[in-house]
Amino acid sequence: MRQVLLLLLVSTLLASALPLAAWAQAAEARLVPFRQGSQWGYADRRGRLVLPVRYDEAGPFADELAWVRVGTRYGYIDGSGSPVTPVQYERAGNFQNNQATVTLNTETFAINPAGRRLPPAEVAEAADEDPLEQGDLLRGPDGKVGFRFTIGTARVPAIYDEIKDNYNGLLLVRLGPKWGVLDNRGKLVQPVQYDSVRRGGSSLLVAVRQNGRWGYLGPEGRRLVEPRYLQAAPFFGGVARVQTPAGSFGYIDTEGREFWSDTETTSSK
């Protein structure tokens, strides 16, 4: 019994030590939006179709709720495919913190998981991100910046034009117009070669642009997906929306697997 209690205590302490982004990334949705031709449904993580393709567009699940589009209007479904709201909104966002932002008749407001409108007093404000969670900036006399890690003795010399904290032992650094990645020892794990970087969503998986194409870096800074997409959104619920070189959209998972088929379905809505 004492061993069980000790394990529970250790687990709790580890959980409290993990950055928020790590937990956000761990909460992967059971189903992934799957495009077949021009229609959308949902597949499991192995790519097997679970909810048939019947939508004109589909969004990622969060807490078993996802937005779908039919024509020009949006609504929400649950994990069984049953509607939670009518398909009536002009715009619809992902559920976060048990609420989603929608637009109906040009009015924008938040709804709860039951689809009911939330009064302004109950709408959760977006959490502020701490841009320098791992340490402090060091400024040189010439305006360049470096970094001092809170844990350990590693320091990054003040040779960069900009530094962003990635919350998991990595730093995103800009030198002139290009970006690279440093580890928590101040060593380059990605050369200063990218045209831009994008965090957001899961901070553990950074989107990077090179030669006009987007890809992703993994948690340790290595390339997860080579830059090949025209657009790349942040990861949400373990998936990210990308635009292929052909111009169509689809979703990839955190291992870079693509969830779409360009073959049109013969079934009707």
What is the spatial distance between Cα 73 and Cα 53, in angstroms, rounded to a whole number?
17
Cβ(59)–Cβ(68) under 8 Å? yes
Structural domain count of the chain: 2
Extract the tokens encoding 186. 């101040």
221 and 148 in one domain? Answer: yes
Q: Are residues 148 and 256 in the same domain?
A: yes
CB 180 within 8 A of CB 190: yes
Q: How confident is the model at residue 121 (pLDDT cuts 50, 70, 90)?
A: confident
Q: Do residues 147 and 214 share a domain?
A: yes
Q: According to the model, what pLDDT value does residue 199 have?
A: 77
Asked whether the beta carbons of 99 and 118 are under 8 A apart, the reply is yes
Q: What is the pLDDT of residues 224-240, one digit of tens each?
A: 999 999 999 999 999 99
pLDDT band at 21 (very low <50, low <70, confident <90, very high): very low
Confidence check: pLDDT of 4 > 80: no
- Structural domain ending residue among the three candidates 101, 127, 153: 127
Residue 147 and residue 41 share a domain = no
Using pLDDT thresholds of 50, 70 and 90, give the confidence band for residue 11. Answer: very low
Can you give the CATH number for the domain in which 47 is found? Answer: 2.40.128
Residues contacting 156, CB < 8 A, separation 6+: 138, 146, 147, 148, 163, 171, 173, 182, 186
CA separation for the pair 157, 144 (Å, rounded): 9
Identify the pLDDT of residue 203.
58
Q: Does position 9 have pLDDT exceeding 50, yes or no?
A: no
pLDDT digits (tens, 9 = 90+) for 131-177: 556 889 999 999 999 999 888 888 999 999 999 987 677 899 999 99
Mean pLDDT value of segment 233-251: 95
